[in-house]
Amino acid sequence: MDRSEARRQLLDWIEADEAKLIEFFSGFVRAKSPNPPGDTREAVAHIRALLDGEGLDYRIIDPHPEYPNVVAAFDGEAANAEGGRHLVLNGHIDVFPAGEHETWSHGGPWSGAVADGKVWGRGAADMKCGTTASIFTYLYLHRLRAQLKGRLTLTAVSDEETFGPYGARYLMEHHPEVHGDCLLNGEPSSPYTIRFGEKGPLWLRFTVKTKGAHGAYTHLTESATKLAAKLIGDLEELTELDTPAPGNVGPVLERNAAVTDKAQGAGAAEIVQKVTVNIGTIEGGMKVNMIPSECSFEADIRFPIGLEKQRVLDKVIEIADRYPEASFEETNFSPPSWCDPDNDMMHILRANVKALKGYEPEPIVSLGGTDARLWRYRGIPGLVYGPFPRNMGTGDEHVEVEEFLHIVRTHALSAFDYLTAE
């Protein structure tokens, strides 16, 4: 068949498989994989059953036995396939844990219920919708391998929620065969945007220590909790750092401010190229009538793209030096990442969404992190196109069925176009 017939065949398969796709997605959500604790074996078994049923080869790479990764690859068989490009499809299997306080309309966090035109449950948006799109894209393109040039790799990974030491990060460090020339990922982003970059987190733990005393004797000692509160307030000075965007990124972000807010909530465009500070945890004091002798808190500082870590650390040190009772340590850091927003896969994705939906998704930068950063760190373009993050990480997380099917169509067509381009 010619190229246009093959593209039509992809859409026909997706239409014929709608019930199968929804059933797989629903069952994927039902297969619990909260991280922590991070055990994804049940969800991986769900993936393996599909791949086995389709007769597809794959490997299980499990540096930790409870966090297996599914890796599969095949080469295109077109006459000039050897000179083709290598596309990697990446999605994660683990999800946020579910809290007892959450309210669910359709059977609880692990129901995978299909109701009201939506698939409900923890991980539906983040990111079992996108990972399902990757898996079925791989499945469908394998059937069309005679049309393809180059290579297609699937990486369905564990441990993304804890930055991937046993997941994508492990694969990138120990299995260079998954690097490829381009990465396509289905993390929640909104169908109206394509994420070509993301901010980077720096996590710091601060500890404030004082002498402490009886609560009535405030003249005898500083309060560790009061000092911590002042220090927390001063850390907001980080948000005032001047952080211009590098290269051609600034004009792209400015032009797409409205769609950034649409995808990530009102106000997102204002902070996407700014440092932000969140105090995620705080702990201090033993009793209400005691002056606390110790207080600790954790700060999540998000870097915009193009900002050097040392600039932020220098400012943190300047602030912390005002408080001799305070010390801090770094507990995690991932640099911000980005790729050229004017790349081949960006144009392919935009053209396919335009043909499918009548609008062109705009390139933006993400506030949160994804495994795509690991490819960008190596100079490999990594693009994210997925569903809206509706109630991501809280009660009633869900994805609209039609939105899910749209993501599958877009990923399948775009992967095909990338691997058949002249």
The pLDDT of residue 82: 67
Its pTM stands at 0.93
In the numeric block, which tokens belong to residue 343?
A: 């790349």
Give the Cα separation of 257 and 419 in Å (integer).
Answer: 32
Mean pLDDT of the chain: 96
Torsion from C-alpha of 167, 172, 175, 178, nearest 10 degrees: 100
In which residue ranges of the chain is CATH 3.40.630.10 found? 3-198+336-418
Please give the pLDDT value at position 81.
60
The secondary element (H helix, E strand) that includes residue 198 is: strand 193-198
Number of other CB atoms surrounding residue 179 within 10 Å: 17
* 23 pLDDT above the threshold of 80: yes
> What is the CA 230 to chain-centroid distance, rounded?
33
Q: Are strands 193-198 and 362-366 parallel, antiparallel or unpaired?
A: parallel
Q: Summarize pLDDT for 27-65 with one digit per residue, the tens.
A: 999 999 999 999 999 999 999 999 999 999 999 999 999
Contacts of 111 (CB under 8 A, 6+ apart): 29, 30, 104, 120, 121
CB 402 within 8 A of CB 131: no
* Closest CA relative to residue 30, chosen from 19, 15, 45: 45
Dmax (CA) for the chain in angstroms is 86
CATH (one of 3.30.565.10, 3.90.700.10, 3.40.50.300, 3.30.70.360) for 200-247+268-333: 3.30.70.360
Domain with CATH 3.30.70.360 in the chain: 200-247+268-333
At the top level of CATH, which class does the domain 3-198+336-418 belong to?
Answer: alpha beta
Q: Distance between CA 284 and CA 232 in Å, rounded?
A: 14
Percentage, residues of the chain above pLDDT 90? 94
pLDDT tops 70 at residue 18:
yes
